[in-house]
Structure formats: structure tokens, C-alpha cells
Amino acid sequence: MRALKNARTDEAQKAALRSLAGFGTPWSTLAPVLEQVVANPATSLDIRGFIFGIVTFQVRQEKFGLQQREAVQFLCREFLAVKDTRLLLGFVLNLKLLLHYTGQSEGRQGRLPIERLIIEALKQRKTMGSMPTEIVEQYQDIEETHPEIR
Amino acid sequence: MAITTYARTGVDQIYQWGPESLVKESQVIVAGKITHYSKVVNSTSQGEPIPLIWTASGQIEQPVVIKGAVSTLPILFSKVERVVFLPSDPYLPNWLSDYGKLKPEGSVVLFFQGATDKPPSTVLPGGDNPDSQFALLKGIASIQAIGDPQEQADA
């Protein structure tokens, strides 16, 4: 945890994040540190993308148990705040993966609350201004299975 | 020399495997400057002979120990490398390719599953910033050496 906060290179931060994921660190412990890292203006775009990806991955792996909703709320906040378009594309692709996970038939009912959060964030982002073509294409793809975003 | 334990594919591997996995699985890790570098070409392109696959060999005479203990000196190693435009070895994790190729007088990190008189399981070029790479591996090894799992997670 301290290594994640104090790391001087992206590689060190990634190693710390993977190790914490490997330990099964609960979301309540991880969240304050992640919030601190993403709030730091010196944090690279690469690490911001990596954090989004690894949290998405852990949600899909159901590693956060009952705190899954809080983890998805964090992702939605980051998604709505991101300004860099390449990073935004990466975030959309990750949310698409999450929607694929929430849409699986087995146990779908239990995942509906987080699916609603993601849909709401995608809708909200759409109202925030024009998006590059590649992101619009991803939206069109998502809208085929989730027409409520249109 | 291939690392079969890392034969995992898919984009998600970047969230699961990295230097820390290799440090954890290795009993001995040493770094140092490459001496007696040699390169034997195993395969060339047809027509204009461009090396496609080769075996780079060398030794470390003055190792910096990152983990464990060195049993013999010098430490010999070799690594099969391929030209960048060939598909990468599917049995190697993607992150290993970030460190480039071995270079004469360059730096290298050797990971051993056992003693250093046996060939290393992984030969990792020093990359663009070997000092930073050595520091990262040392830091990981020192955190992993903490016995208590909670203290290790806090570190």
C-alpha cells in the first residue's frame, strides 16, 4: 500500500497494484489510496488507464464482494471526469467489458444495480459534448444491446 | 529457457503478471553488466540474410544480488531472441518484451529457480533504465520478504 503511494515509476505503481489485487485487498482499503493516486496531478495517463483497467478486471472477477457497487461508482466518477480522449476510449472499452459481464444470464439480477450505474454514466457522458469517431462507434456498439443509452 | 508458467494469453494478463510474479517465483535473482557477449544466429530470412532468431550468450562477473545468494562465479546465461517483426513467443508474458534485447556491455537480470550453477529460468535485459529496473526488483523482493501477509500488504 505504501509502495503504491510512494512509487516513483509507473512500473513500480503497476507492480504494487497487481500485488494488492493478488492479496485480495478489500475495496474499502484500496479505495482511499486509489483516490489519492488519481487526485495527484503528477499521476501519468498510463497509470490512470491501468487503475481503471485493474479495477474493472477485479469487478469482473467479483473480487470486491459486497463492495462491488462502490468500486463501480469509482469507475463511473473517473469516466465522467476524464478529459484525455485516448484515455476516454480506454474507459469506454472497459465499461463495455463490464456491461458484457453484467449482461451474462447467470445471476444477472444481482448485477443489475451496477449495470444501471454504468448505463447512467454512459448517458451522462454523452450529454457532455461531442466525442471522437472511435468513441461514437463504441457507443453505437453498446447501444445495440442497451438502446436506453440512445 | 522458456517460462512455461507464464503461458497465459489475453489482455487481462497485464493485471495479473509482472516483475513481482517473477520475483516471487525465483529463489535467486542477480543483476549486472554483461561480459563476453556473443551471438549465434539460428535462423535468417531468405534472400538478403537478416538474422531472425539468434541465441545471445554472456556472463556476469560482478553480480548485484537482488534476492538469494550466488553459489558460483562467473554466472553464465543465454537467451533466444527474435527480430521485432516476428511474432513474439506465445509462452512469454507480454511485459517481458518491454525490456528489449541483450546488448554487449549492457545490463541483464537473471532469475533462477534454484542455484546459480544451473541455467537461469529467465534472462531479462536491463532495458533503457537498468538502475530503475534493479531498484524496482529490489523493492519488490524486500516487500515480498516480509513474513506477515498483512504487513506485506501494508508495505
DSSP secondary structure string, A4-19? HHH-SSHHHHHHHHHH
CA pair distance B123, A76, nearest whole angstrom: 41
Give the per-residue pLDDT at B10.
67
Mean pLDDT of all residues in A126-143: 94
How, if at all, do strands B51-60 and B122-125 pair? unpaired
pLDDT tens-digit map of A81-110: 999 999 999 999 999 999 999 999 888 999
Instruction: Give chain A positions within 8 Å (CB) of B154.
Output: 1-2
CA pair distance B4, B78, nearest whole angstrom: 17
Cβ–Cβ gap B153/A23 under 8 Å: yes
Residue listed under C-alpha cell 498510463? A46
Mean pLDDT of all residues in A45-61: 97
Residues 6+ apart with CB under 8 A from A60: A97, A98, A101
Mean pLDDT of all residues in B40-51: 88
Among A2, A12, A14, select the one facing B155 at the smallest CB separation. Answer: A2
Which of the two residues, B87 and B83, has the higher pLDDT score? B83
H or E stretch including B78? strand B75-82
Residues 6+ apart with CB under 8 A from A122: A92, A95, A139, A142, A146, A149
**Is residue B3 scored above 50 in pLDDT?**
no
Give the per-residue pLDDT at B95.
80
Among B15, B20, B153, select the one facing A1 at the smallest CB separation. Answer: B153
The interface predicted TM-score (ipTM) is 0.87
**Is residue A77 scored above 90 in pLDDT?**
yes
Mutate to test the interface with B, among A18, A33, A59, A93 (most CBs of B within 10 A): A18
Contact A149, A142 (CB under 8 A): yes
CA pair distance A80, B17, nearest whole angstrom: 29
CA pair distance B55, B39, nearest whole angstrom: 6
Residues 6+ apart with CB under 8 A from A85: A131, A132, A135
pLDDT tens-digit map of A19-45: 999 989 999 999 999 999 999 999 999
CA pair distance B22, A40, nearest whole angstrom: 29
Cβ–Cβ gap B15/A2 under 8 Å: no
Q: Where are the domains of chain A?
A: 2-149
Domains and CATH numbers, chain B: 4-145 (2.40.50)
How far B21 CA sits from the closest chain A CA (Å)? 9
